[in-house]
Chains A and B, each alone.
Chain A
Amino acid sequence: MRFEALERFAMQRRLFQNLTTCLIAAAAMLGPLSTSAADEPPDAVIQRLSNSVLDNIRSDKSLKAGDLSHVIALVDSKIMPNVNFRRMTASAIGPTWRQATPEQQARLQEEFKILLVRIYAGALAQVSDQTILIKPLRSAPDDKEVLVRTEVRGRGDPIQLDYRLEKTPGEGGGWKIYNLNVLGVWLVETYRSQFAREINNSGIDGLIKVLSERNKANVAKG
């Protein structure tokens, strides 16, 4: 009896092992098609994201007309899954972040995200018939944080667009954005002094209120 059970167990293990091997092989074959199975180099991640957004802007007529809400929806679906918002928000808030309750942290993250999406979408809405040039990556292969520098080229002077990414193996192609630079201006740094001032004036709840009111006003304006 016991012997049979053992045999059955051994067979099941073998079956399980074979199944696992099959699954791994299948995933490896599907690797290039799925975004989360394979980890890419950071500049490939940025290339893929930028191209998909630009392609969408170029082909969609309503986006070309400058309809910001559509560009915002596009940025939300394509770019935002690859952004580490918690880190961006915490970095912009500074040491006060640790004093905030989890609910406050969640609210801050949410409101700051809406603002950032608006900034990025606004910059992209100026784009038409532009191409992205990714500059050569200057980092060691085992760096956990890298800087990817790109230029949006088309009519007029090229627009500088840089990204700081951190290594997140297995998520979003292996890299997540934690800071964004538009035309030489790092957004996290720029908001640090504004947030500090607001927190000093009216505390964390005051900052949340200001942010959410601003976001509502922007949406109302269209």
Chain B
Amino acid sequence: MNVSWQWNLSRSVRRWVSLGLVLATCHGCASVPNPDPRDPLESFNRGVFTFNEGLDQAVFKPVATVYRDVTPRLVRAGVGNFLGNLDDAWSSVNSMLQGKLRHAMGNFFRFGVNSTIGIFGVFDVASEMQIQRHAEDFGQTLGRWGVGSGAYLVLPLFGPSTVRDAVALPVDSNGDLISHMDSIATRNGLRVLNVIDTRAGLLGVSSALDEVALDKYSFSRDAFLQRRRNAVYDGDPPEMDSVTDPVR
């Protein structure tokens, strides 16, 4: 029986995700000493987080490290630019949906210039022209439209998310230009490359996290939720009710 490798790949991905969910549910039986109001699913999330960490240590981190060590910096930059260019197209659509016309035009211009002069996005000509990227995704669009982020949720494989962003995920993958490519081999190849490139970019951050985080789950949750809120408000979030300082 000649089953293609692409079918095997998606089958094994589904198997990992199911395994992750099973493990997480087992963890979910325990209760948490300090419940955080933003994280009502903490037991479940901690389970998935541990599973993801294990998978990361076993697979993603070593592969990304080899990729970073073996590939010349220029090639990695080119790969990053190419993948970033594909994101810029979707960012442009989302900026438009959020009514941020200047950002939408900027992102669209970036996509246009980089795809043509930048040869399919490999060269980031637009950044040389001082046209900044404004990354947007459908989760941020929903946030802008007033949808609250909902409970913190750690997804198997995908990592930190929220209920809102998890719901937005199918829309994001539909909007991703990679999904609209004809060949299954190209699609999966690009997806794998995307994962490796992203992970390689985060190698410095993850090792720093190992050093400075007392509780990696807590740190990554708080950092993720703050960054997400920051992204929805484009770096200018409104003041949150802060805990009063005991010293004052």
- On A, residues with C-beta under 8 Å from B are 86-87, 90-91, 93-95, 97-98, 115, 118-119, 122, 126, 149, 157-158, 160, 183-186, 189-198, 200-201, 210-211, 214, 218, 221
Contact = CB atoms under 8 A, between A and B. Distances in A.
Interface of B: 33-34, 36, 132-133, 204, 208, 211-215, 218-219, 222-223, 226-227, 229-231, 235, 242-243, 245-247
Contact of B247 (A91, A149, A184): A91
A91 B227 contact: no
Given A118-B212, A193-B34, A194-B215, A90 B230 contact: no
B245 A91 contact: yes
A43 B97 CA distance: 35
A185 B222 contact: yes
Contacts of A210: 214
A184 B229 CA distance: 9
12 contacts: A90-B245, A90-B247, A91-B247, A157-B133, A184-B229, A184-B231, A190-B222, A193-B34, A193-B215, A197-B218, A214-B214, A218-B211
A219 B199 CA distance: 26
A94 B246 contact: yes
Given A118-B211, A218-B211, A194 B219 contact: yes
B215 A197 contact: yes
The 9 closest A-B pairs by CB, nearest first: A184-B230, A90-B247, A190-B222, A184-B227, A194-B214, A185-B223, A97-B246, A194-B215, A194-B218
A185 B246 CA distance: 22
Given A87-B247, A90-B246, A94-B246, A190 B215 contact: no
Contact of B36 (A95, A119, A193, A195): A193
Given A196-B34, A211-B214, A86 B204 contact: no
Contact of B33 (A197, A214, A218): A197
Given A158-B132, A184-B231, A189-B226, 5 more contacts: A91-B245, A126-B204, A189-B242, A193-B218, A194-B219
Contacts of B204: 126
Nearest to A116: B212
Contacts of B230: 160, 184
Contacts of B132: 158
B34 A190 contact: no
A183 B223 CA distance: 9
A206 to B, nearest CB: 11
Contacts of A87: 245, 247
B211 A91 contact: no
A153 B231 CA distance: 18
A194 B214 CA distance: 6
